[in-house]
Amino acid sequence: MMRVVRHLLAVVCFWIALCGCSHLQRNRDVLFQTSTIGALLEGVYDGHITCKELKKHGDFGIGTFDALDGEMVVLGGKVYQVRADGKAYSPKDSLGTPFAVVTFFEADKSVFLDRCENYIELQQYLDSSLATKNIIYAVRIEGPFDYIKTRSVPKQNKPYPRLVEVVKNQPTFEFHNIRGTIVGFRLPAYMEGINVPGYHLHFITEDRTAGGHLLDCSGRNVNVEVDYTHEFFMALPEHSDFYRADMIEKGTGEVGKVEK
């Protein structure tokens, strides 16, 4: 009798697990993240998920690459690597990422922005159009820009320096009268330490040849699309550098320094 009961319980557990997996496969409204911003601040730069694996979890997003080799833009299911020369490359599927955030982008809201003078004004406009600041938003902004300023980071060698040291010598790039797409996310304040609170945006040109981490912008007649995201999944690295990283309070306040 007990054998029959155990068998029935095993069958029930199997179906629960199967239904759960099916739900995750069907639900595309999930933010998928590799590692944490706290780990990146501490110099945990070794990739632990490949670009091929990352694309299974989203067709839109941002991040960086193994050894901090450039800025990542994921757009239309394709991964672009903006390296320290400011140019965008198509990385191999086997290239790893130590930190990335992706989702399957499906716009829930579209607005038309007549004009923004700078990055601060853009953020203020976006905030004024959001229903709440307590959920995750994927943001896509496309159109002509009068001015774009970006940065990238050069590939690092071990022993890796902390991120706040790397960005002290970051190369920056300026674009004038350029068409392209701003890609990224707005994260709630309570996600500090896990991700970047507020806006974290990257840029890529319309011809997909250049871009980087967005530092400033101005534009007119641009189309803004926002995807409301209510679920979050994070995959943590399984290696010793992550296990040893001191992420308690040490990086508090440093995110703003490395994002500017």
* DSSP, res 155: P
Give the domain range for residue 224. Answer: 27-259
pLDDT digits (tens, 9 = 90+) for 202-219: 999 999 999 999 999 999
Q: Select from 232, 260, 242, 221 the least CA-distant residue to 111.
A: 221
Residue 2 lies in a domain: no
- Does residue 124 have a pLDDT over 90? yes
What is the CB neighbour count within 10 angstroms for residue 29?
A: 16
pLDDT at residue 15, rounded to an integer = 38
13, part of any domain: no
Alpha helices (H) along the chain: 2-26, 37-41, 51-54, 119-128, 163-166, 240-244, 254-259
pLDDT at 235 over 50: yes
Distance CA(20)–CA(30), nearest Å, equals: 14
Which strand (E) or helix (H) includes residue 64?
Answer: strand 60-64
The answer on pLDDT for 146 being more than 80 is yes
Q: What gap in Å lies between CA 225 and CA 54, rounded to an integer?
A: 22
- With pLDDT > 70 as the criterion, what percentage of the chain qualifies? 87
Look at residue 5 and tell me if it is in a domain: no
Q: How confident is the model at residue 249 (pLDDT cuts 50, 70, 90)?
A: low
141: Cα separation from own chain's centroid: 15
* Range in 38-42, 159-163, 245-249 the model is least confident about: 245-249
- For 61-71, write each residue's pLDDT tens digit: 999 999 999 99
- Check whether 43 has a pLDDT greater than 90: yes
Look at residue 20 and tell me if it is in a domain.
Answer: no
- pLDDT at residue 6 is higher than 60: no
- The mean pLDDT value of the chain amounts to 89
Q: What is the CATH number of the domain that holds 68?
A: 3.30.1330.80
Amino acid at 38: G
d(CA 61, CA 74): 5
Predicted confidence band of residue 255 (pLDDT cuts 50, 70, 90): confident
Is 246 within a domain? Answer: yes
Please indicate, yes or no, if residue 6 is contained in any of the structural domains.
no
In a domain, 17, yes or no: no
How is residue 135 written in tokens? 């959920």
Average pLDDT in the 27-46 region?
94
Q: Quick check: 65 and 97 in contact, CB under 8 A?
A: yes
8 A C-beta contact, residue 208 and residue 200: no
Mean pLDDT of 103-121: 95
**Contacts of residue 134, Cβ cutoff 8 Å, sequence gap at least 6:** 188, 190
Question: How many distinct structural domains can be found in the chain?
Answer: 1
